[in-house]
A and B are shown apart, each in its own frame.
Chain A
Amino acid sequence: MGMRRLIAAAVVLAGMAAGVLPLGAALAQETARRGGIVGYWDYSDPARLDWMIESALSNQQATAGVYSGLLQYDPDDPEQIVPDLATGYTADADGLGFAFTLRQGVKWHDGRPFSTADVKASFDRMLDPKVKSPRCGALLKDIVAKVQYPDDQTVHFRLKFPAATFLPSIASAWCRIAAKHVLERDGDLQSAKSQIGTGPFKFKRYERGSIIEWERNPDYYDPRYPLVDGVRQYILTAPARQMAAAKTGQIDLWYPYPPMTKTQADELRKVRGDQVDIIEWPVNNVWVVFLNTTKPPFDNVDLRRAVHLALDRQELFAKIFEGVGLPCAILDVKTDGAFALPPEEVNATPGCRRPKDQDIAEARRLVARHYPQGLDMDVLAFAYSNQTARAELVVSQLRKANIRGKIRSLEYGGAYSAIGRGDFQMIGSLNTANFVKDPNGLVSQLYISKGGRNFGKWKSERFDKLADAGVREIDTAKRIQIYYEMQRMLLNEDPSGVVMLGREYGYYFRDKRLRNYHFAPVMYDNLTFMKSWLTK
């Protein structure tokens, strides 16, 4: 054993013996190795790869290591924002502008030089009102007044108002930079041949329904990275196949969606024992029921409220997630910090409190007021993952309030098409992830009147004003109060077109031979494997 390893071992042992050195820090003392291929998986086949105009996690996973942004969340500590293609930034004195200095000497994977023209082409596209950019565009369009390029090393963003969400948005995995010449050549980034980035990995191959593979970019701007030779993402849509891959060691990591259930985690523990680290982790994802507020019956607030009161979130979480997760919570203390209402307050609100008898009686009364014989309605269910089973459980619970749902199960594309046409009364179950490390990410998607996932088309002037104030306010204490008011309004007054069921948690594993991988608070923000390495 070399002197360096002896020292590392001594540090680890001393730290562990003292009980003060976390395991992650202990492992960080090891010497990183180069080589090897990370085995990973994707829960669905992304098909379309243009992350600028797509929004699915599978799309982000497929391309995460291929591109870089101006800033990024540090793979060593995904809570922290660090430079990427920008070496740094300076804020204008009035807080309304940020100037980013671009890194020099960076090359695209096809050898062409990276320049401000690429940054301009990317932000022009994502901020174009005619281009529907559901992630980065949705984050920035309302707050960015203009983007200027004063010289060939600087990008300057001028904001409409001081916005606490700006830097987290720029660092988001959805706000990365694509090559101008590729956008001009291909028109978009949908196909595999368009995947030319500046990131740590080159896009190697994509076999539909089977595998996505990246290989190490030898010309990456930071010559220390990446450490592994490549990443293989197996497209595993069947839960049984996913578990088989975990048990046989085909994959080194289970993250981010869907998480393992407790039973699956126990199964894996039995098979792989101490070869894997298994953790319970917030998915930063809400489980919701959507109500179409543009037509009967849910254009009526009484009936929206009846659904809100009738659903037994604790039972739903017990059955679907084996008791793991946060029923009723809109924001989560673990991922949203002080912006989340205290759980004791949430759990005392009508619809969430126990026992349910009082709320179900009130729900029946509200239904009877408008539908004396009970309400019959159409329930749209997504025929993927276990969304249909979740919808079945929701429908079953609503019968107690004399609301009878008839499930119409559609595959992914068909369901979104029906949603686009407004052809539904209720969406029985759907998940929405927060895609930026700020509570506004969720609010701006689900609740504001022009929110990209406000499928029920709920409109509330008061809520829109609150949400706008939440984005503009830069005093954290005042922001917290604004978000409290929003949550209280949704929980106590009008449950909107989004009936919140709660925050999903689950179990993940990391093969112990995969080192220096850290689970991120936002599921999209640490999928590059840039600083990870393998001991096998």
Chain B
Amino acid sequence: MTEQRVTAAPAATATALEGDTLLAQAVSGARFLAKSQPLGVIGLFIVVVLCAVALFAPWLAHYGPKITAFDTYQPPSAAHWFGTDHLGRDIFSRVVWGARLSLYVGLASVGVGVTLGWVWGLVSGYFGGWFDSVSQRLVDILMGFPPIILALALMAVLGQSVNNVVLALIVLLMPTAARTMRAAVLSIREMTYVESAQAVGCSHWRVIFVHLAPNTLGTYIVLVTVNIAYAIVVEAALSFLGLGSPPDEPSWGGMLTAATESLERAPWIAFFPGLAISLVVFGMNLLGDALRDLTDAKLRGTTGAE
């Protein structure tokens, strides 16, 4: 191994070599990914761009997202790349700042919602019995509501704010994640290594979090990537219906709502946020599919198309 051959070298050289090795591994991994999951790489690229836009929004956006200082309904131009909206706001700046809001909503709701659902599914699937029956009936109840109706009802009760959108999404995502994770646990808990752990006296919680959880990580990652896209779309839908983020926040869905009254006059007001939503959802779905394929033993080592 490389590390063994350089143990006597000065520390700086060792770090450089480790860096080279990591880079080589990353390049090799990227080549493998590009070959086995080319669409996934495109998805990853889109997601990375989204993250970069969200992160560097203050530097990328030409103006503040709420500044109404410009003439209304200006078409795209050198001064306003995506034009201006009905209140004289720069649409490019709002789309850029909107990436931050979308990413926050996506990551926060999915991070919390899917993780809680993961734990719920692990516990429910592992213990089984009456606890499983009761908790799965609760999942049935929550999944029985059409998702957008449930989200609308929650927003109507909670009131309009970005954090309440996240809360509503958590309630939407948790039961689906719990059901999916429980299904994974039901097969894993019968494995011999789980029986072995139980036989040597591991506690239930150790079995759940040390032996079961790591083996459902693949499913968890796929759920996260797929649901980020879902969360972004639901946030956009809620904002479009007037029950999402506060109206002056640069939400892509909210921007679409504002555009409905001027589609003929100024189609660019709807076009660019619509394009942003489509691109991000497309990217997230490509990435999610690729990760699913990579974590699926049956598909591992093949391209998704095969």
Contacts and interface: CB of A to CB of B under 8 A. Distances in A.
Interface of A: 239-240, 263, 267, 319, 381, 383, 386, 388-389, 391-393, 395-397, 399, 406-409, 411
A243 to B, nearest CB: 9
Nearest to B73: A263
A409 B68 contact: no
B247 A388 contact: yes
A397 B69 CA distance: 9
B88 interface: yes
Contact of B242 (A395, A397, A409): A409
Interface string B247-269: 11000000000101101110000
Nearest to A411: B242
Nearest to A397: B68
A406 B246 contact: yes
B87 A407 contact: no
Contact of B68 (A267, A393, A406): A393
A399 B68 CA distance: 11
Given A388-B247, A408-B160, A399 B87 contact: no
A408 B87 CA distance: 18
A239 B261 contact: yes
Given A240-B260, A409-B160, A319 B72 contact: yes
15 contacts: A263-B265, A319-B87, A319-B88, A383-B247, A389-B86, A391-B247, A392-B68, A393-B87, A395-B66, A396-B67, A396-B87, A396-B248, A407-B246, A409-B242, A409-B247
Contacts of B248: 392, 395-396, 407
Contacts of A383: 242, 247
A470 B157 CA distance: 46
B265 A389 contact: no
Contact of B66 (A399, A408, A411): A399
Nearest to B69: A396
Contact of B246 (A240, A389, A393, A409): A409
Interface residues of B, number: 19
Interface in B145-164: 159-160
A130 to B, nearest CB: 33
B264 A267 contact: yes
A407 B261 contact: no
A344 B32 CA distance: 75
A386 B246 contact: no
Contacts of A392: 66, 68, 87, 247-248
A396 B246 contact: no
Looking at B66, B68, B86, B242, the one whose CB has the most chain A CB atoms below 10 A away is B68
Nearest to A383: B242
B290 to A, nearest CB: 39
A240 B87 contact: no
A389 B87 CA distance: 7
Contacts of A386: 261
A263 B260 CA distance: 15
Nearest to B85: A389
Interface string B147-187: 00000000000011000000000000000000000000000
A267 B68 CA distance: 26
Contact of A319 (B66, B68, B246, B265): B68
A401 to B, nearest CB: 14
Contacts of B264: 267
A391 B160 CA distance: 15
A267 B263 CA distance: 13
Q: Which 8 A-B pairs have the closest CB atoms?
A: A396-B68, A392-B248, A388-B247, A407-B246, A383-B242, A239-B261, A409-B247, A393-B87
Contacts of A397: 68
A381 B87 contact: no
A310 to B, nearest CB: 13
B247 A381 contact: yes
Contacts of A239: 261
A399 B72 CA distance: 19
Nearest to B249: A407
A300 B265 CA distance: 43
Looking at B72, B87, B248, B264, the one whose CB has the most chain A CB atoms below 10 A away is B248
B168 to A, nearest CB: 16
A399 B89 CA distance: 14
A388 B264 CA distance: 21
A22 B269 CA distance: 43
B131 to A, nearest CB: 40
A411 B247 CA distance: 13
B66 A389 contact: no
A516 B260 CA distance: 35
A411 B156 CA distance: 10
Contacts of B88: 319
Nearest to A396: B68
Contacts of B261: 239-240, 386
Contacts of A240: 260-261, 263
B86 A396 contact: no
A485 to B, nearest CB: 35
Interface string B31-70: 0000000000000000000000000000000000011100
A48 B49 CA distance: 52
A170 B188 CA distance: 82
Nearest to B266: A263
Contacts of A395: 66, 248
Contacts of A389: 86-87, 247, 258
B295 to A, nearest CB: 42
A406 B87 CA distance: 17
Given A393-B87, A396-B67, A409-B242, 10 more contacts: A267-B264, A386-B261, A388-B247, A389-B247, A389-B258, A391-B247, A396-B66, A399-B66, A406-B246, A408-B159
Nearest to B86: A389
Contacts of B68: 319, 392-393, 396-397
B247 A407 contact: yes
Interface in B116-154: none
A392 B72 CA distance: 14
A529 to B, nearest CB: 29
A187 to B, nearest CB: 31
Contacts of A407: 246-248
A360 to B, nearest CB: 13
Interface string B68-90: 10001000000000000011100
A381 B264 CA distance: 26
